[in-house]
Amino acid sequence: MDRMRRIEDEARRDNELRLDTMAREMERDRQERERQREQDRLEQEYREAALRDQMERDRRYHQEREQERERERARDKDRERDRQREEARRDQERHDHARNREQAQREQAQRDQADRERRERERDTARRDQERRDQQAEREREQARRDQMERDRKAAADRVRNERPMQYGPGPAPTDWRARQQSNSLEKP
């Protein structure tokens, strides 16, 4: 009789221990899910903040470019006004010095042509440089967007794997404590 009672007491204690272990495991799982949700929320906030920062940087970049174009247009107008004034002064000199008019005209034409060619070269160079910078900036933004999409995809895949319930059935043997308990109960006579 005492032996039966001891067996029952041991069985009850084993059952209580299993229930307690199961409760602790469930609590750990719950806490891990909460931690993962909080981490996901923080990551989402970080991505949104990074996107806002990038948009602000892009806005400032385009604004600065437009301001620089305005300044360049103003400089072009000043240069053109100065050139016109210089041309008028030289014209007056040519009128004042009739005997040197032909030589002065040839020299002025050569200078004007050189100035036009130089400005054209400078504009071409500046345009090519700007196009290269624009293309590089666009490639970097595209690469950053692809990198972010890849990180988002991996994070989503990780979440799906982490949140998928344990499957029992054909396939690799489970390794958690429930599976061990199940295996132990099957092996007992």
Q: What is the pLDDT of residues 19-49, one digit of tens each?
A: 999 999 999 999 999 999 999 999 999 999 9
Annotate the chain with three-state secondary structure: CHHHHHHHHHHHHHHHHHHHHHHHHHHHHHHHHHHHHHHHHHHHHHHHHHHHHHHHHHHHHHHHHHHHHHHHHHHHHHHHHHHHHHHHHHHHHHHHCHHHHHHHHHHHHHHHHHHHHHHHHHHHHHHHHHHHHHHHHHHHHHHHHHHHHHHHHHHHHHHHHHHCCCCCCCCCCCCCHHHHHHHHHHHCC
pLDDT at 182 over 60: no
Per-residue confidence at 171, pLDDT binned at 50, 70, 90? low
Highest mean pLDDT among 6-10, 171-175, 177-181: 6-10
What percentage of residues in the chain have a pLDDT greater than 70?
A: 85
